[in-house]
Amino acid sequence: MLSISQLAAYAGVTVAAVRHYHRIGLLPEPDRDRSGYRSYDAAAVVRLIRIHVLASAGVPLAQVEDLLDAGAEEFAEGVREIDARLRAEVRRLQGTRRRLARLAAGEQLALPASVVGYLDRLRGLGVQERYIEKERDAWIVLAARMPDRIDAIIADKHEDLADPDLVRLYGLVSGALDWTAEDPRVVEVADVLDRISTRALESGDVSGEGLDDQVVALLDAAAAQVSPAAQRLLVLLEERGWKGITRAERVRAATRRT
């Protein structure tokens, strides 16, 4: 006959685990001997080992008792169910690992490859990383909102880079995060945007077309907060007859240029 510590040692568990199994009814508690100690037989060793093996395999303790008392066929079916659950958990963990790998890769976490490629092209044009981070965040919102259209939108953006005005615009706004509202380059940005938006309107290729008002407002608000110069830019655009940046809309004829 074995003491509780000997029983635990045979099964490779702790005494605390044995006592826990007693409390929840998985392992029957034996009668005590004349000295008041528990005394375990071989059957207790076998049952405890089976409990330990099942628990170590990931079987919830609530299911262990059913498996211990099941017949051969029922036990086999229970094991198959546990195996299926474990395989599903493995797939979930593998997916988590893939997401972590993308997290380590930075912007690839939440962006399709087409957008990542476009941002890399902007880097090749000399656009500063600080500005690219702001544009990246806007693309994350757009990609989440328009997952089926984002690749086509990016393809159009690549074609748009053939426009010298757009390349000039990127060259200007790349360093705009540090501009004051009085910086004269803000006027040049407004002029460039005015020309780009006018050509887009004349060709019927309106920027931001298809976006709902809520997303447009969200992106415009984010753009307005990047620097003091952004607030002035919006005023200058309104003077040129445009409202908004994400989806520039002609609201009236230009009144004056500052």
Same domain, 49 and 118: no
**CATH code, 37:** 1.10.1660.10
Give the pLDDT confidence score for residue 104 in this predicted structure. 60
Mean pLDDT of 99-108: 61
* Mean pLDDT estimate for the chain: 85
Please report, rounded to a whole number, the percentage of residues in the chain having pLDDT higher than 70.
91
**Residue 226, Cβ density class (10 Å: 0-12 exposed, 13-18 middle, ≥19 buried):** middle
Residue 166 has pLDDT above 60, yes or no: yes
Local confidence band at 206 (pLDDT 50, 70, 90 cut-offs): low
Task: Tell if the pTM clears 0.85, that is, is over it.
Answer: no
How far is Cα 25 from Cα 33, in angstroms, rounded to an integer? 21
What phi, psi does 244 have (nearest 5°)?
A: 90, 170
Residue 156 included in any domain = yes
What is the reported pLDDT for 214? Answer: 81
- Give the CA angle between residues 15, 17, 19 to the nearest 5°: 70
Domain co-membership, 98 together with 123: no
SS3 call for 31: coil
Per-residue model confidence as pLDDT tens digits over 14-73: 999 999 999 998 898 888 877 778 888 888 998 899 899 888 877 888 888 888 878 888
Same-domain check for residues 189 and 99:
no
Pair 211, 247: CB distance under 8 Å: yes
Asked if the structure places residue 78 within a domain, the reply is yes
Range of the domain at 130: 108-250
Whether 227 and 141 map to the same domain: the answer is yes
Q: What is the pLDDT of residue 105?
A: 57
211 and 83 inside one domain? no
Q: Are 94 and 208 found together in one domain? A: no
Domain count within the chain = 2
- CA–CA separation, 40 and 1 (whole Å): 5
Residue 215 near residue 145 (C-beta atoms within 8 A):
yes
Q: Measure Cα distances from 143 to 35, 112, 116, 147, 245 in Å.
A: 73, 8, 11, 5, 18
22 and 134 in a single domain? The answer is: no
255 belongs to a structural domain: no
Position 254 scores a pLDDT of 59
- Establish if 256 belongs to a structural domain: no
